[in-house]
Chain A
Amino acid sequence: MTAARLVTRRVVELLVVFVGVSFVIYAMVFALPGDPIAALGGDRPLPANVVAQLREQFHLDEPVWRQYLYWLSALLHGDLGTNFAGQSVADKLALRWPVTITLALTAWLIEVVVGVALGLWAGLRRGRAADKAVLAGTILASSIPVFVVAVSAQLLFGVRLGWFPVAGTAAGWPMSYLLPAACVALFGLASVARLMRGSVIDTLHSDFVRTLRAKGLPRKEIVGVHVMRNSAIPVLTFLAVDLGYLLGGTVVIEGVFNLPGVGNLLFQAIRAHEGPTVVGVSTALILVFLVTNALVDLLHAVLDPRIRHA
């Protein structure tokens, strides 16, 4: 398959997935019990005509598929819609993306640096104390819920020790982002370390490494140049997919650390049953995820000639 056909196929797939997923999300928000407009004022009821006005404005009395079509046609005109208070969803997203991107990339960086280093270290010392320590550490890291990690880290490093701000983005990058990013990164980091460890062990046993060793190449060069690079392929795939996940999966962390990011916006919107905002944010997240996935596939094709020619 040529690169052009590969790209075209990916784009078509992407569109189909996009329409399907966004409709499902729209339908799910629609199916949430309770009237979002009636609950808009908290426990203070809105005047009846205010409710009527808003219901009409947001087509809430019409069937879900028509609401979805209104939304989709507006989207094709480049309009992500507004929330129930009349604020533009696109503006809200524009305001919040930088926070989420900063958080995700910081976390990603931690995964890359710490995860790869730990994996390499453990892989080279297979079966020894270091390997076992990394194994135990990664099991622990991936089994504690992120919420518990976040709240504990906040109390220990923010309140007790005072090394990092407790919440908010006032201290800017990196101080405001390091602690939340480390909490988000913990799970992926554990996966990266174990993936890298396994990959390193496999590579160490491969024929070409044995040949290199037989040729008398120094160990430093074998590990630093040949083992590192060949072990990186599966890890790289994981890291790329994980970046997509990080961009959309930071809802809990943004809440705990009060970072005004996209996840935070999504959380508030779901609580308020704000269909337009939920779908707008989700759409953006789906796009990010699909695009990173597509890029990974293409990257794979570049890296591994066998895929390109299959």
Chain B
Amino acid sequence: MRLSLRITVGALAATLALAACSGGTDPADDSADTSSSTGTGGAISIGVTEPGQLIPGRQTVAYDFSMAVWAPLTFIDDQSNLTYVQAESIESDDATTWTITLKDGWTFHDGTPVTAQSYVDAWNTVAYGPNAFENSGQLANVVGYGDLNPAEGDPTTTEMSGLTVVDDLTFTVELVGPDSQFPMQVSQAQTAMYPMPESALADLDAYNTHPVGNGAFELTGDYVEGSPLVVTAYPDYQGDPPTVSQITFVPYTDTGTAYTDVLAGNLDVSSLPADKMAQAATDFGDHVYSFEAPGISFLGLPLWDERYSDIRVREAISMAIDRDTINQVIYGGLYTPATAWTPGIEPGTPEGICGEYCEYHPDEAKALLEEAGGFEGDMEIYYPGGVGLDEFYTAIANNIRQNLGINAYASPSTDWAEFYQTRLDGDVPGPFFSRWGALYPSQQNTLRVFFVEGGGCDMCIPWYDPEVATLIAQADATVDSADAADAYATVQQRIQDEFPAPPLFWEAYSYVTSDRIAKLNTSAAGNPNYSQTILVDGA
């Protein structure tokens, strides 16, 4: 038995040694000296999802990082006013060919100047099919995009013919059709429209490890997965100076953990997960921010099912849903019940166009359903499981069951991928989850994604009406922005007359902050404008 004891002691010693040395080589160790608690004044830390991809043409969850490291051509503030950032001007006579002039004297973080060529090269790289960049669709309306993305085989060119460099600071963009909203499409959340320096194009993998932008903050070290990303103010930035000197993006797998870390004061900002909305006010008092966002949700209906073919059935379902109560109980009052077909933050949205049909009238709903001949059979409400939507859809099912007498029940998918596939294939068993967050606050964006075939939110509202498509195209071609907003409102009247799906909520993107944050600012994109965060004195 002497042997066994020796082995035990040896194992223990090895354990200790391993634990000690692995502690030292821990990839996340370097965050110790960069977290807000030990940083100098003006540093903030933010909980984010592990970005994976940092190149703006590829990122899908790194919007906050992108907006810190790059400057957009245009910026839309929280009042939906458009201002120029990297662009000096963006002009067009016919809304088809746009001339973009850049501001002089701006540089990338590596010191090279930001030129018209930087934009043209970057956009060609993003759009080039074989690169398979996730955000390349944002450039789909530029002439020549199709040549870089042939249906079969490899493209024969590497450049879009619609992009022309005029001089160092000027280039033109030719679109496939008139589009009055183009200046909005190059605003802050459309990250595929960001420029990249020449050095990026030679080695995109290296660029993903250490992106170099033209924005207010530059990345200090290389990107290491699972470790915080630290950006510091770029001294030569030519735009509005940021109010903070450093931002640390800390990746979290679970937003709930980030929320707890803000509660403990170890982190400054976290987004507010849906299942914590009801308790956030108790936990954080006035450190809860809810920003009006260009997001809207609908209850999608399986319109190929004959039971939903009568408009009165669809209107009855809408009037049976108690949006105010659901908002108060589940979302802590942070959302806004929808009263139109686009989010209220999008200029010109005809608020209230939905009228009584978007209000809670259980008796009228029941009468309307009976008038339409009732509803046979069960109603299975289908939504993506595992993303905190259970209470929401259960509440809707309860409303429909109690107010309309239909045997409605909520049924989650296994995960997002299953739900997404089922919806795309048109195999959903009943009413279903349907939402979209626009990347630029124009009615155009929301109307296109939902109501134009292949517009983005495919099969979210499975109703593709040629008249709506025509009306949207007419609005796109209206150059004057006020007239265009009116034209999009006309589209909504046509949709209202057909009532293809009950509008549910205008979304808010919500955040909680530590005591160090005096004020979190936002923009029309709905996320915080971190570079303009106001810290409390002495923080």
Chain A interface (Cβ within 8 Å of chain B)?
32-36, 38-47, 49-50, 53-54, 57, 85-87, 92, 95-96, 98-99, 101-102, 105-106, 108-109, 112, 154-155, 158-159, 162, 165-174, 177, 229-230, 232-233, 236, 254-258, 260, 264, 267-268, 271-273, 299, 302-303
Task: With both chains docked as a complex, state the minimum distance between the C-beta of A152 and any C-beta of chain B, in angstroms.
Answer: 11
Residue B291 interfacial (CB < 8 Å): no
Task: With both chains docked as a complex, state the minimum distance between the C-beta of B123 and any C-beta of chain A, in angstroms.
Answer: 14
Complex interface: chain A residues within 8 A of B252 (CB): 167, 258
Q: Is the CB of A98 within 8 A of B253?
A: no
Closest to B204 in A: A86
Q: Is the CB of B420 within 8 A of A172?
A: no
Q: Is the CB of B417 within 8 A of A273?
A: yes
With A155-B260, A299-B7 already in contact, the answer to whether A43 and B129 are too (CB < 8 A) is no
Q: Is the CB of A271 within 8 A of B134?
A: no
Complex interface: chain A residues within 8 A of B133 (CB): 50
Q: Is the CB of A50 within 8 A of B132?
A: yes
Complex interface: chain B residues within 8 A of A258 (CB): 251-254, 257-258, 261
Complex interface: chain B residues within 8 A of A35 (CB): 417, 420-421
Complex interface: chain B residues within 8 A of A45 (CB): 137, 456, 458
Interface core residue of A32, A45, A106, A230 (most chain B CB under 10 Å): A45
Q: A162 to B224, alpha carbons, bound, how many Å?
A: 28
Q: Is the CB of B225 within 8 A of A46?
A: no
Closest to B15 in A: A105
Q: Is the CB of B257 within 8 A of A173?
A: no
Closest to B455 in A: A45
Q: Is the CB of A173 within 8 A of B8?
A: no
Q: Is the CB of B4 within 8 A of A166?
A: no
Complex interface: chain B residues within 8 A of A170 (CB): 28-29, 31-32, 35, 228
Interface core residue of A35, A95, A170 (most chain B CB under 10 Å): A170
Residue B415 interfacial (CB < 8 Å): yes
Q: Is the CB of B417 within 8 A of A158?
A: no
Point out the residue from A109, A166, A254 that lies within 8 Å of B266, measured CB to CB: A166
Closest to B5 in A: A229
Please give 8 more A-B residue pairs, beta carbons under 8 A apart, in addition to A99-B27, A167-B266, A258-B261.
A34-B415, A35-B420, A39-B416, A53-B132, A167-B261, A173-B20, A173-B26, A229-B4
Residue B18 interfacial (CB < 8 Å): yes
Interface core residue of B205, B253, B416 (most chain A CB under 10 Å): B253
Q: Is the CB of A99 within 8 A of B4?
A: no
Closest to A39 in B: B417
Q: A40 to B416, alpha carbons, bound, how many Å?
A: 10
Q: A230 to B18, alpha carbons, bound, how many Å?
A: 28
Q: A55 to B309, alpha carbons, bound, how many Å?
A: 37
Q: Is the CB of A98 within 8 A of B421?
A: no
Closest to A302 in B: B3
With A33-B418, A155-B260, A158-B260 already in contact, the answer to whether A232 and B52 are too (CB < 8 A) is no
Complex interface: chain A residues within 8 A of B250 (CB): 168
With A43-B436, A92-B225, A260-B226 already in contact, the answer to whether A172 and B417 are too (CB < 8 A) is no
For chain B, residues 147 to 173, give those with C-beta under 8 angstroms from any C-beta of chain A. 149-151
Complex interface: chain A residues within 8 A of B386 (CB): 271
Residue B264 interfacial (CB < 8 Å): yes
Q: A87 to B487, alpha carbons, bound, how many Å?
A: 46
**Interface range on chain B (Cβ under 8 Å from partner):** 35 or more
Complex interface: chain B residues within 8 A of A102 (CB): 18-19, 22-23, 26
Complex interface: chain A residues within 8 A of B16 (CB): 109
Q: A106 to B18, alpha carbons, bound, how many Å?
A: 10
Q: Is the CB of B416 within 8 A of A98?
A: no
Interface core residue of A87, A105, A155, A254 (most chain B CB under 10 Å): A105
Closest to B386 in A: A271
Q: Is the CB of B15 within 8 A of A108?
A: yes
Q: Is the CB of B61 within 8 A of A42?
A: yes
Q: Is the CB of B257 within 8 A of A166?
A: yes
Task: With both chains docked as a complex, state the minimum distance between the C-beta of B169 and any C-beta of chain A, in angstroms.
Answer: 30
Q: A122 to B343, alpha carbons, bound, how many Å?
A: 65
Task: With both chains docked as a complex, state the minimum distance between the C-beta of B206 and any C-beta of chain A, in angstroms.
Answer: 13
Q: Is the CB of B260 within 8 A of A98?
A: no
Q: A60 to B224, alpha carbons, bound, how many Å?
A: 28
Task: With both chains docked as a complex, state the minimum distance between the C-beta of B153 and any C-beta of chain A, in angstroms.
Answer: 10
Residue B109 interfacial (CB < 8 Å): no
Complex interface: chain B residues within 8 A of A34 (CB): 414-422
With A166-B257, A170-B35 already in contact, the answer to whether A46 and B23 are too (CB < 8 A) is no
Point out the residue from A172, A264, A272, A302 that lies within 8 Å of B253, measured CB to CB: A264
Complex interface: chain B residues within 8 A of A33 (CB): 413-414, 417-418, 421-422
Complex interface: chain A residues within 8 A of B150 (CB): 49
Residue B86 interfacial (CB < 8 Å): no
Complex interface: chain B residues within 8 A of A109 (CB): 12, 15-16, 19
Q: Is the CB of B32 within 8 A of A172?
A: yes
Q: Is the CB of A233 within 8 A of B4?
A: yes
Task: With both chains docked as a complex, state the minimum distance between the C-beta of A37 and any C-beta of chain B, in angstroms.
Answer: 9
Closest to B252 in A: A258
Closest to A112 in B: B12
Q: Is the CB of B418 within 8 A of A32?
A: yes
Residue B424 interfacial (CB < 8 Å): yes
For chain B, residues 55 to 73, give those with C-beta under 8 angstroms from any C-beta of chain A. 58, 60-61
Residue B89 interfacial (CB < 8 Å): no
Complex interface: chain A residues within 8 A of B493 (CB): none
Residue B496 interfacial (CB < 8 Å): no
Residue B25 interfacial (CB < 8 Å): yes
Q: Is the CB of A99 within 8 A of B420?
A: no
Closest to A50 in B: B132
Q: A86 to B132, alpha carbons, bound, how many Å?
A: 11
Residue B482 interfacial (CB < 8 Å): no
Q: Is the CB of A43 within 8 A of B435?
A: yes
Q: A53 to B35, alpha carbons, bound, how many Å?
A: 40
Complex interface: chain A residues within 8 A of B5 (CB): 229
Q: Is the CB of A254 within 8 A of B253?
A: yes
Complex interface: chain A residues within 8 A of B26 (CB): 98-99, 102, 169, 172-173
Q: A173 to B50, alpha carbons, bound, how many Å?
A: 22
The proximity string for B residues 259-279 relative to A, scoring 1 for CB distances below 8 Å and 0 otherwise, is 011011010000000000000
With A35-B417, A166-B257, A273-B417 already in contact, the answer to whether A53 and B27 are too (CB < 8 A) is no
Interface core residue of A47, A50, A256 (most chain B CB under 10 Å): A47
Q: Is the CB of B251 within 8 A of A260?
A: yes
Closest to A303 in B: B4
Point out the residue from B136, B414, B419 that lies within 8 Å of A32, measured CB to CB: B414
Closest to B16 in A: A109
Task: With both chains docked as a complex, state the minimum distance between the C-beta of B8 and any C-beta of chain A, in angstroms.
Answer: 7
For chain B, residues 395 to 432, give those with C-beta under 8 angstroms from any C-beta of chain A. 413-422, 424
Q: Is the CB of A159 within 8 A of B263?
A: yes
Q: A155 to B256, alpha carbons, bound, how many Å?
A: 12
Complex interface: chain B residues within 8 A of A106 (CB): 19
With A54-B132, A170-B29, A170-B32 already in contact, the answer to whether A165 and B266 are too (CB < 8 A) is yes
Q: A108 to B8, alpha carbons, bound, how many Å?
A: 13
Point out the residue from A43, A99, A273, A303 that lies within 8 Å of B457, measured CB to CB: A43
Closest to B439 in A: A44
Residue B238 interfacial (CB < 8 Å): no
Task: With both chains docked as a complex, state the minimum distance between the C-beta of A183 and any C-beta of chain B, in angstroms.
Answer: 13
Q: A236 to B7, alpha carbons, bound, how many Å?
A: 10
Q: Is the CB of A85 within 8 A of B20?
A: no
Q: Is the CB of B32 within 8 A of A46?
A: no
Q: Is the CB of A101 within 8 A of B225?
A: no
Complex interface: chain B residues within 8 A of A98 (CB): 22, 25-27
Complex interface: chain A residues within 8 A of B424 (CB): 38
Complex interface: chain A residues within 8 A of B12 (CB): 109, 112
Q: Is the CB of B253 within 8 A of A268?
A: yes
With A171-B32, A302-B3 already in contact, the answer to whether A49 and B149 are too (CB < 8 A) is yes
